[in-house]
Amino acid sequence: MVRYIQRGTGITASERISVIAGDFIQNLRIALDYLVWQLVHRESEKPDGRHFFPIHEDPRQFNGEVKFRKREPEKSPLFGIPIDGDAWTIIEKAQPFNCVPAGPPGDPLATPYGSPVAVLKRLSNADKHQSLLYQEPIPERSTLLRAIGWSDEVRLVEYRVTGLPLSLERPTEIIRLRFAPSNRDAGMYVKGNITLNPTFGEIGTKAKDDGFIYGTQVTVGTGTDDLVKTVRGILEKIARLPRVIGWEPGHDASPSAGPSA
């Protein structure tokens, strides 16, 4: 177990950054919702408040609430868009359970939970219904293992990165490692620096099966780029379909969005 300890008097996160981050997230989320409305119009149907871009980590939820909704099927957020049609297929393939990020065994972000669209959903909900997105430093995941060394007599068999921001007031567990054989001292030591990146996100409140409480943080730069590329990719695929008028694939401007409800 590795803990990073930094002492301080407490620094209030920048509200301005939090507001800008919230606008950024909502613009991306709303772009997807706008997309569904236009796809309903494409089928000569009339969209209303039930229509939005669904995001589900569990395929059973997607099937039960969206695709094969048995009770009041007209309340499906994609009602009016032909099931398994060209647009539907793109939306279903964009679901977190179909876009699992790569990662080592045991990494909670190498699951549908870590998919960019799942991250977008959680941050959008937090910003709309809970509080401003907080802004705190978080260790760069790719530098954690490079900064830690251990004895040649053991081998690393598993590690988990908590993804937690660094607290200025209390120790923060940032990575947990397991070695084999377990009866030998791992002889761990620090051999390099851990890069800290500016991030924004929400604090987790519910523990996962392993006991950890994972929040959702996005790194300014690589993380924000991933979100934009994911939304842009969905929009570009839809824009290539017949009978779609609007945003052009490859357009330099980011997907536009209006005020959220």
Predicted model pTM:
0.72
Q: Does the residue 245 lie in any domain?
A: no
User: Tell me: the pLDDT tens digits for 160-174?
Assistant: 877 666 776 678 788
Residue ranges in 78-183 assigned as alpha helix (H): 86-93, 116-129, 141-144
DSSP annotation string for 3-24? EE----S--PPPHHHHHHHHHH
Contacts of 72 (CB under 8 A, 6+ apart): none
Task: Decide: 203 and 215 in contact? Cβ < 8 Å.
Answer: yes
Check residue 3 and give its pLDDT.
46
Phi and psi dihedrals of 199, rounded to 5? Answer: -140, 165
Rg (CA), the chain: 21
pLDDT number for residue 249: 54
How many CB atoms sit inside 10 A of residue 119's CB?
A: 24
Within a domain: 213: yes
Residues 225, 227, 230, 233, CA torsion sign:
negative
φ, ψ for residue 117, nearest 5 deg: -70, -30
Question: What is the average pLDDT value for the chain, to the nearest integer?
Answer: 83
The pLDDT of residue 254 = 45
Residue 248: inside a domain: no
Domain that holds residue 51: 2-239
- Which one-letter amino acid corresponds to residue 240? R
Query: Which H helix or E strand runs over 226?
Result: helix 222-239
pLDDT for res 253 = 43
Q: Note whether residue 258 is domain-resident.
A: no
Q: How many residues does the chain have?
A: 261
Residue 104 has phi, psi (to 5 degrees) of -70, 160
pLDDT band, residue 7 (cuts 50/70/90): very low
Contact between 159 and 175 (Cβ < 8 Å)? yes
Q: State residue 210's pLDDT score.
A: 59
Contacts of 167 (CB under 8 A, 6+ apart): 6
Structure tokens, 95: 């679901």
Structural domains counted in the chain: 1
Among the listed ranges 42-56, 80-94, 114-128, 197-211, which one has the minimum average pLDDT value?
A: 197-211
Is the residue at 225 inside a domain? yes
| Residue scoring higher pLDDT (54 or 207) | 54
User: Is 260 inside a domain boundary?
Assistant: no
- Distance, CA of 218 to CA of 200 (rounded, Å): 6
Tell me, yes or no, whether 79 lies in a domain: yes
Residue 119 domain flag: yes
